[in-house]
Amino acid sequence: MKRILKGLGIVAVLLVGMAVTVPPNNKYFEIIKNLEIFSNLYKEINTYYVDDVDPGHLMRIGIDAMMESLDPFTNYISESEIEGYRFMTEGKYNGIGAVSKKMGRYVTITDLYEGQAADKAGLKPGDQIIAVDGQDAGDKDPDAINNILRGFPGTTVELDIRRPGRADDFKVTLVRTEVQVPNVPFYGMVGEDIGYIALTTFTRDAGANVANALKDLKSQNPALKGVIFDLRGNGGGLLNEAVNVSNVFIPRGELVVTTKGKVKDWDRSFSTMGQAVDTDIPLVVLINKNSASASEIVSGVIQDYDRGVLMGQRSYGKGLVQNTRDIGYNSKLKLTTAKYYIPSGRCIQSVEYKDGEPVHIPDEKRTPFKTHNGRTVLDGGGVKPDIMVDEFSSEPVVKSLLEQDLIFHYVTEYCLHHDSIASIEGFHFTDFDGFLDFLGQKQFDYDTESEKLLKQLQKKSSEEGYALEAQIGQLEASIESTKKDELVQNKTAIIDLIEKEIASRYFYQKGKIQMGLRNDAEIQQAKSLLNKSGDYENLLKG
């Protein structure tokens, strides 16, 4: 302890010495002054606070508070979080090959990567992790559990598992391996002469994998007349892979993105460097509100060069570039260093966030730019598709089913009674009444926006002395009656979600994508557009 205090004292003396030599009107004086204050504060708390304090935990709280005052994408990555960072950039990590989520008291497995340790050991979606290496996992932070599950390849971890439909818990020992997750989990034909490629993340080799998928589709289908490129839910990744993916569809030497930040020496322009696979084949790019960063670069580039038609919902609006800096002890700082600008000159960055989510910017407040063919496009708040399509599962009742994991739990019970299903093409879920009975057993309920407003009105009117209980009660009863019909009204969307979840249990991520393609309204609309060459060309001509 004396040695630590002595070290902190030396740091303080050095900082004081530096402060003396720096002019007080210099910005660096403020930095040095506040570092000294922080150092002294940290020392005093650790030395004299009435209870024992974990120095690492205390510092992490301070760091997280500092990060929260900046944009949502500037983050501190501790040594224990490095594997998660590696997965985001490389598409691989060391672990057991399972995706999990906290449901109730326990972390529950929700997805398995085919052929990885958890899959080989016979674990299933719905399995609850009761203990890890003999330590109770109840009510534990899911990130802490995942950090334990990740580790050096060849090391083991013992899990106590509780499985629905099985009376007793059981143990399983897993050997950690390097888990590599494909960024192009599926490509194939979705109709007569129409190809489809799904890209889920811009990790290493994303450009090469998309290029190979397109080459394969062309070689196996000489009459290929259009491609649907699916970037829905793709949160981005590596900037250079955004350039490489763009290069699949646009020729060599074309500007893709320019980055501009505080450090002018770091400003750069990125252009395509290789030979495109196909610069002419009709292309529809699907995006939604969860398409972000690199996805927005690629979709924006396709739009700016009028290379293809964008379809779906407005994208997330992340026009910021992050770089990582090593800050010692195998930890990193991921910080925003620049904004990126696509070929038309626009930046798609949302200018305001609330609770980490972008706030919608009205079109009239966004600056207009022009595409290569002279079509008007707007900056800020994400990329707006050329064809806007209502989100398939945006109804409140559907959102509530997903948020409460009720479709997941229903499918877990369904799989207890079905060892297998027919092929993706031949399977159809027909027991919607059984699903409604399940919801009744679980006492499913949710609050609509109207109900939330009524509760606010009830509270406010009571505070102000207005007797509105009878009127509010009548409105609540009317809403409750309408809510019962909403499940049936959204039957198609709910069955689609159930079928995709069932397909994932037997055929992994690839099966889920294939099942989704069969029912996907946006896929059908994209196919229709590609089959009408005149409509497609007129859209791009503006």
What are the Cα distances from residue 464, in Å, to 154, 450, 458, 482? 66, 21, 10, 30
The alpha carbon of 92 is separated from its chain's Cα centroid by a whole number of angstroms, namely 16
304 tagged catalytic: yes
CA dihedral 296, 204, 98, 436 (to 10 degrees): 30
Residue that has been written with the tokens 């002469």 in this structure: 193
Whether the CA torsion 459, 463, 469, 474 is positive or negative: it is negative
Residue position matching structure tokens 């992994």: 508
Query: DSSP per residue over 485-542, as a string?
Result: HHHHHTHHHHHHHHHHHHHHHHHHHHHHHHHHHHH-HHHHHHHHHHT-HHHHHHHHH-
Q: Catalytic residue, from 127, 160, 230, 304: name it.
A: 304
Annotated catalytic, 431?
no
Q: Could you tell me the sign of the dihedral formed by the alpha carbons of 427, 428, 430, 435, in that order? A: positive
- Residue 127: burial class (beta carbons within 10 Å; 0-12, 13-18, 19+): buried
CB atoms within 10 A of CB 378: 19
**Beta-ladder partners of 132:** 135, 159
Determine which one of 293, 295, 315, 504 is catalytic. Answer: 293
Backbone angles phi, psi at 519, to 5 degrees: -105, -5
Q: Is 483 a catalytic residue?
A: no
Bridge partners for 369 per DSSP: 377
Cβ 53 vs Cβ 70: under 8 Å: no
CA 15 – CA 34 distance, rounded (Å): 10
Residue 70 contacts by C-beta under 8 Å, 6 or more apart in sequence? 335, 336
Helix H or strand E encompassing 57: helix 55-68
Catalytic residue among 140, 318, 384, 527: 318
How many CB atoms within 10 Å of residue 9?
A: 13
Q: What is the dihedral of CA 512, 515, 518, 519, to 10 degrees?
A: -80
Closest CA to 538 of 299, 309, 305: 309
Q: Residue type for 261, please?
A: G
E strand intervals along 275-317 = 283-287, 309-312
SS3 337: strand
Task: Find the helix or strand (DSSP H, E) in which 341 lies.
Answer: strand 332-341
Question: To the nearest 10°, the Cα dihedral for 363, 237, 358, 398?
Answer: 100
Euclidean distance between CA atoms 40 and 106, whole angstroms: 40
Distance (Å, rounded) from C-alpha 124 to C-alpha 98? 9
Please identify every residue annotated as catalytic.
293, 304, 318
